Each structure stands twice: as C-alpha cells, then as structure tokens.
Amino acid sequence: MTKIKSNQNTPIFPQYSLEELINDYPLDLEAANRSPKTISAYTYTLNRLISFLKSQKLMKPVDKLGTKEIMAFIRHLQNSKKWPNSLQYRKGYGRLSPFTVQRYVRDVKAFWSWLACQGYIESNPLVKLPLPKVPQYIIRTLTNDQVRRLLSSVDRSTAPGAKYYCVLLLLMDTGMRISELVNIRMSDLDAKIGLITVLGKGQKERVVPFSRWTRKELIRYISNYRAQLCPENSPYLFPTDNGEHISVNSIQQFMRRLVKKAGLNGMRCFPHIFRHTFATQAIANEANVFALKAIMGHASLQTTMKYIHLQTGDLKHQHDRFSPVENLMKTKS
C-alpha cells in the first residue's frame, strides 16, 4: 500500500475506484484456490453493486463507501425481482429470496475484508454490518420408502441403468456433493476397502467411506457394464460415450424421469436432497458429528449441526413418550 504524506504528517490513502479493484480481486481468489464458480459468483455480485451505485449516483472511491451505501444496496436487493431480464419473468416470478440476498451481502462483506487486508482502505466499515436474516426451514429429505421405490425403479440390467443405480447409491451412502461425484476417477476408488478420494470445495481432498452393499454394486457395474459406456482410456468412474465424465444435468434429468417411473409424481428429487438425507439419517442413527463433518467436507461444524433436528415422525414418537396429558391419564387409570 502506498501512503502519501500530507503537510500535517497524516498518512493519506490513495483513492481507488471500485471498478479497478474488482479486476484484481479474482486474481487473489484464484491464488487462494477458490473455484471458478465461486469467483464468478463474487464477480457477478460486485458488478451488480457497481451498477446499483452508478444508477443511484452513489459511486465513490472505495475509502469513501460505507454502511450507508451498502444498506441502500441491501434494500434494493430485497425489493428486486428474480431474473428481471429473462423472458420467463413475465410468468410471475417474485422477489429475490432472503437466502439469495444474504449471499450477495456475504460476497460484499468478503470483498471489503479483502480491501482492508490488502491495505486499500484504512479499516473495514462493514465489519459490524449484520447479515440479513433468513427464514429457518426444516431441511427436506427423502423417506426410506421413497428411496427404496426410486432404487427399485432403476433397470440395473443395462449399462446406463447400472451406472445411474451406483450414482444414486453413492449419493445416498456418502452424502458427497454432485460436483464431487461426477469428477471421480477410477484412480480415486479403492473398492477393496470401500473408500473414495474426492476433491471438494477449495480444492480440498478428503477420503469418503462407503458401505459393503455400495461396494458390491460398484464392482458389479465396473466389471460388467462400464466398458460398454466409453472408450477404454476414459479415467472417469462414470463416463459418457466420448470418455468425458457424466454431467450434473444428465443426473438431474434422470432423476426427474425416475420420479415419474416410481409413481412419486409431485415429489421433488434432486441430487442435493440425497446429501441432506444422508446427513439427517446419519444423525438419527447416532453418527459422531465430527466424523460426519469430515465425511461431508464441511468447513465448519456449525454447518454439520444444522442437520441435528427431528423429522415429523420422530417428533410424534418423542411426544408420545413425554406427553404430560398421556402420562397423567396413565397414572389416573
């Protein structure tokens, strides 16, 4: 950081524009091994902030921007429509969700922390800026019956069916992210022991265990069907006919078709719900939260702890046990 001395011997910080610093920020994120998707999200948020500040004539050098301008940006986001430039906007999409707004604010706060760390500003005015609150919802998961019906609807006698069956088993059995699963290479798999090495967020490697049943089905798929799907030199566990890895979109499309085939019309089924289901059932089966954190690749234990909640059926069972009225009437009788 370059400081200019004034006549009063007070350090003066050079004035930088938001636009020029946004060009430097992604380079530091790349050096920190942040994923391209994360970098793109940060860049989008900051460009949206610039557009807002310009439209409201609030644009200033970064050392002059503070909570007043960012609070105005938050209010703008809270009243913004989803995808206003999309043709689908006419179909009646509402406002940005509180979760999306909170993500934008997290991005802005992270950028201001970087500004202070790099010495572009003397201090971070957003340190104490609270994040907008978001609703607390029960995490939706699949029931055992739904999982059984989905799995039993897959035709395992075909190469594609065997592949997708193993995809579903791994998602359910390990709780790994779909982005991690599609990139699994044969060299990452230790089928004898039942372990997979995956590359998670922030380019962090971790080892994920899987069960004997999943191991059995993976060996069956690799031995009997995988060679039918791709060239011999494909490195991926779940390849396509050109040797590349299976796409996230193809798994999403398969799940949509499978829901209908299983007669579960109206049920939402997407890759991440298997991650939620894995974590929730692991907690219900008394899994150690520290082991679960390591398996799922959570950066913080707080993220893992959000799965410590009771489902409706568990709540009913617990209430039947401790109900004051139920126990009173038992005693009376």
Residue 75 lies in a domain: yes
Task: Answer whether 190's CB lies under 8 Å from 244's CB.
Answer: no
Considering the domain architecture, whether residues 12 and 84 belong to the same structural domain is answered as yes
Residue 68: pLDDT band (50, 70, 90) is very high
Considering the domain architecture, whether residues 105 and 177 belong to the same structural domain is answered as no
Considering the domain architecture, whether residues 107 and 153 belong to the same structural domain is answered as no
What are the tens digits of pLDDT across the range 35-44?
888 899 999 9
Among 3-17, 199-213, 232-246, the minimum mean pLDDT is found in 3-17
Considering the domain architecture, whether residues 215 and 154 belong to the same structural domain is answered as yes
Considering the domain architecture, whether residues 206 and 263 belong to the same structural domain is answered as yes
Residue 135 lies in a domain: no
Considering the domain architecture, whether residues 215 and 260 belong to the same structural domain is answered as yes
pTM over 0.85, yes/no: no
CATH number of the domain encompassing residue 295: 1.10.443.10
Among 7-16, 149-158, 294-303, 309-318, the minimum mean pLDDT is found in 7-16
Q: What is the 3-state secondary structure (H, E, C) of 277-328?
A: HHHHHHHHCCCCHHHHHHHHCCCCHHHHHCCCCCCHHHHHHHHHHHCHHHHH
What are the tens digits of pLDDT across the range 72-105?
999 999 998 876 555 544 554 678 889 999 999 9
- What residue numbers bound the domain in which 195 lies? 144-313
User: If residue 208 lies in a helix (H) or strand (E), which one and from where to where?
Assistant: strand 205-209
Considering the domain architecture, whether residues 247 and 188 belong to the same structural domain is answered as yes
In three-state secondary structure terms, 132 is coil
Considering the domain architecture, whether residues 168 and 240 belong to the same structural domain is answered as yes
Considering the domain architecture, whether residues 255 and 178 belong to the same structural domain is answered as yes
Give burial (CB, 10 Å; 0-12/13-18/19+) of 51: exposed
Looking at the structure of the chain, the number of domains it has is 2
Written as one letter, the residue type at 248 is: V
Residue 124 lies in a domain: no
For residue 298, count other CB atoms closer than 10 A to its CB.
19
What are the tens digits of pLDDT across the range 105-136?
999 999 999 999 998 998 999 999 999 998 87
